A and B are shown apart, each in its own frame.
Chain A
Amino acid sequence: DAGVIQSPRHEVTEMGQEVTLRCKPISGHDYLFWYRQTMMRGLELLIYFNNNVPIDDSGMPEDRFSAKMPNASFSTLKIQPSEPRDSAVYFCASSPRDRGLAGVGTGELFFGEGSRLTVL
């Protein structure tokens, strides 16, 4: 398997522009997570999906951020309009259901290589 694939790897944009980050999870994984990482705040969970349905978006910082998962093999994280403080590395991760206790998700997370966003 190719692993979790994120694009673009690097994005430089100007304040006010729309940014779309993309993620292809590992085939067969039921869960998809979006994280943001900065030096100041570390790794923050933004939102996660189960079977394409958003389960918890309480980590999404503002209404400027939105995430979708139209099918099991694709998700997007959109920032509109972007601001300099959105500069960060954005990680997507996917996870299978736990192979132990049925119905409880404690499977390991597989992360992509991240998308480094710079907003000028």
Chain B
Amino acid sequence: DAKTTQPNSMESNEEEPVHLPCNHSTISGTDYIHWYRQLPSQGPEYVIHGLTSNVNNRMASLAIAEDRKSSTLILHRATLRDAAVYYCILREQYSKTSYDKVIFGPGTSLSVIP
């Protein structure tokens, strides 16, 4: 299974941009890069995903390196509510009859300082 590497923890000041890195050097050509986050005492929630091109949605932006061996989740203005554990996950695609396991690593614990 393709694996990801993330820093254990990061800090950010409130209202500043946050760049959360993820390394996935063994990514295969058909792996999607997904990000989830888990707020305290809640289940994980989907943030964003992409394949090759950078992606934007209302929650965040995803910047994918040209060689796809790394990606960065960008929170444009961190708020206190963004304090959470952020997971970078690779979603492998097999066949039409199969489904990839969604495996979570330890993620990055983001602290937001008021």
Q: Sort chain B's interface into a size bin.
A: 20 to 34
Contact B102 A104 (CB under 8 A): no
Residue of A whose beta carbon sits closest to that of B89:
A109
Contacts A103-B96, A106-B93 given; indicate if A45 touches B46 (C-beta within 8 A).
no
Q: In the complex, are the beta carbons of B44 and A109 less than 8 A apart?
A: yes
Chain A residues whose C-beta falls within 8 Å of the C-beta of B43 in the assembled complex: 4, 91, 93, 111-114
Shortest Cβ gap from A21 to chain B (Å): 13
| Residues of A with C-beta under 8 A to B45 | 111
| Docked CA distance A33–B103 (Å) | 11
Whether the pair A45, B42 counts as a contact (CB closer than 8 A) is no
How far is it, in angstroms, between the C-alpha of A108 and the C-alpha of B57 when the chains are bound? 14
Of A11-19, A48-56, A62-70, A73-81, the one with at least 4 CB within 8 A of chain B: A48-56
Question: Which residues 1-59 in B have Cβ within 8 Å of A in the complex?
Answer: 32, 34, 36, 42-46, 49
18 A-B pairs with C-beta separation under 8 A: A4-B43, A35-B104, A42-B104, A43-B104, A45-B103, A45-B104, A48-B101, A103-B96, A104-B94, A106-B32, A106-B93, A109-B46, A110-B46, A111-B44, A112-B43, A113-B43, A114-B42, A114-B43
Instruction: List 18 extra interface pairs beyond A103-B96, A104-B96, A114-B43, CB under 8 A.
Output: A31-B99, A42-B105, A42-B106, A43-B44, A45-B102, A48-B101, A50-B99, A91-B43, A103-B97, A105-B100, A106-B100, A108-B46, A108-B49, A110-B46, A111-B44, A111-B45, A113-B43, A114-B42
Which 10 pairs show the lowest CB-CB distances between chains A and B? A111-B43, A103-B96, A108-B46, A43-B104, A105-B99, A91-B43, A106-B91, A104-B93, A111-B44, A42-B106
